[in-house]
């Protein structure tokens, strides 16, 4: 059956948008791609996700499709690998909505619309959390009452798993160590959302995002790690509601909270021009990066390569330079000329002979979803 699945229709569905790409797995190229926005907005002409899928398929009527891959953020504890979708899987994805209320419901709407429009093709759910199903109980569990944690499903799940899987595999290939069970990587997915993952032999060992994508690194608008008593203090002493706390920590924190802007290019330019708030925000951001690099080197018992990916990781050479500065004791160093290169190709930016490699690997989540779709549909 694998020979029959070459062209995969990849869907990334949001509450009011659908991003799509048809990937040719033989070449890795996009046969078609696009974005439908303002779904359900009055006057948009796209009243719901079903209408959006119909619109997209009309645009793709001359493009062959062999299978459909759906990005789903949360797989809970049941879905630890990409899974062919049937009615039971649909119900389970819906039941996980409380763990990802902004992401799973629109993904489910897209799944239902696409299955209705393309009933004869295999549909596969590719879960962001699945790659992190291999982290140990010691890394997975929070030190709270075990009965409460079990009853309420509180544990570390991790996110950005599709990106971390693709990038760690590509990094291993670039280093000539594909399939090496001893290869130890720290992967930094740095976009508006950001996460770090310790990877050994292609398996996630630990990751910075937790039960939700709020934990871990400083992000564009999310706080990352904070003292867990801070929300309690704000609620008790200053009257914050849960909705206000959610907005504060997810939408008004991180780089935006520290410096009034979340775009990394603007922050670096402002800091270079003498803006002290911007400079401080970058200091906090880089301090957290270095914290996790060191922590994951300890978790892994050493590090063979540090890998940067996603929008900031791929393009912000100054952030890469600052993150590695002072980490020579881990064998990390950056070649300035290599670091300054802009490219969509995976590349090594550490000096020749460096004890620990530093890599930039552009992420290709749609390609990885397509690969996972074919693998799941042919298992």
Question: What residues act catalytically?
Answer: 128
DSSP letter for each residue of 138-187: HHH--SS-HHHHHHHT-S---S-HHHHHHHHHHHHHHTT-TT-TT-EEEE
Cβ atoms 114, 11 nearer than 8 A: yes
Which residue stretches of the chain are H helix? Answer: 49-59, 87-95, 104-117, 137-140, 146-152, 161-174, 229-238, 242-251, 254-259, 264-272, 276-300, 310-315, 317-324, 336-340, 365-377
Tracing tokens 């944690």 back to the chain, one arrives at 149
Phi/psi at 348 (nearest 5 deg)?
-95, 130
Counting every residue written for the chain, the total comes to 379
DSSP annotation of 73: S
Residue 5 CA to residue 229 CA, distance in Å, equals 51
Token duo for residue 312: 């900031």
- Is residue 67 within a helix (H) or strand (E), and if so which, with residue range? strand 67-72
- The residue among 30, 373, 356, 346 whose CA lies nearest residue 168 is 346
- Alpha carbon distance 71, 67 (integer Å): 13
Gap between the Cα atoms of 254 and 279, Å rounded: 14
Residue with tokens 């140990």: 136
Give the residue from 132, 102, 131, 116 showing the smallest Cα distance to 15: 102
Handedness of CA 262, 266, 269, 273 (dihedral sign): negative
């Amino acid at each position: 059956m694998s020979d029959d699945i070459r062209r995969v229709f990849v869907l990334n569905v949001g509450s009011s948008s659908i991003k799509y790409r048809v990937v040719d797995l033989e070449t890795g190229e996009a046969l078609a791609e696009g974005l439908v926005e303002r779904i359900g907005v009055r006057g948009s002409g796209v009243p719901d996700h079903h209408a959006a899928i119909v619109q997209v398929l009309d645009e793709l009527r001359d493009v062959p499709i062999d299978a459909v891959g759906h990005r789903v953020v949360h797989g809970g504890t049941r879905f630890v690998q990409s899974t062919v979708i049937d009615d039971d899987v649909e119900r389970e994805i819906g039941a996980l909505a409380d763990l990802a209320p902004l992401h799973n419901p629109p993904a489910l709407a897209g799944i239902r619309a696409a299955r209705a429009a393309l009933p004869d093709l295999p549909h596969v759910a590719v879960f962001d959390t699945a790659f992190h199903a291999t982290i140990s109980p010691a890394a997975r569990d929070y030190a709270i009452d075990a009965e409460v944690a079990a009853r309420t499903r509180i544990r570390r799940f991790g996110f950005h798993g599709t990106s971390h899987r693709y990038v760690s595999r590509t990094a291993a290939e670039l280093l000539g160590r594909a399939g090496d069970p001893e290869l130890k990587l720290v992967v930094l997915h740095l976009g508006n959302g950001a996460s770090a993952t310790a990877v050994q032999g292609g398996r996630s060992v630990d990751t910075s995002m937790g039960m939700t994508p709020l934990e871990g690194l400083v992000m564009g608008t999310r706080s990352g790690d904070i003292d867990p008593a801070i929300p309690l203090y704000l609620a008790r002493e200053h009257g914050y509601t849960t909705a206000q706390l959610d907005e504060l920590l997810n939408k008004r924190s991180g780089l935006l909270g520290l410096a009034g802007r979340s775009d990394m290019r603007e922050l670096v330019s402002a800091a270079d021009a003498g803006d002290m708030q911007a400079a401080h925000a970058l200091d906090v951001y880089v301090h957290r990066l270095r914290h996790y690099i060191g922590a994951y080197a300890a978790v892994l018992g050493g590090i063979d390569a540090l890998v940067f990916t996603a929008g900031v990781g791929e393009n912000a050479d100054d952030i890469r330079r600052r993150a590695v500065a002072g980490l020579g004791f881990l064998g990390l160093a950056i070649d300035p000329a290599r670091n300054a290169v802009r490219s969509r190709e995976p590349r090594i930016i550490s000096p020749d002979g460096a004890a620990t490699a530093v890599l930039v690997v552009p992420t290709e989540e749609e390609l990885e979803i397509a690969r996972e779709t074919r693998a799941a549909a042919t298992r």
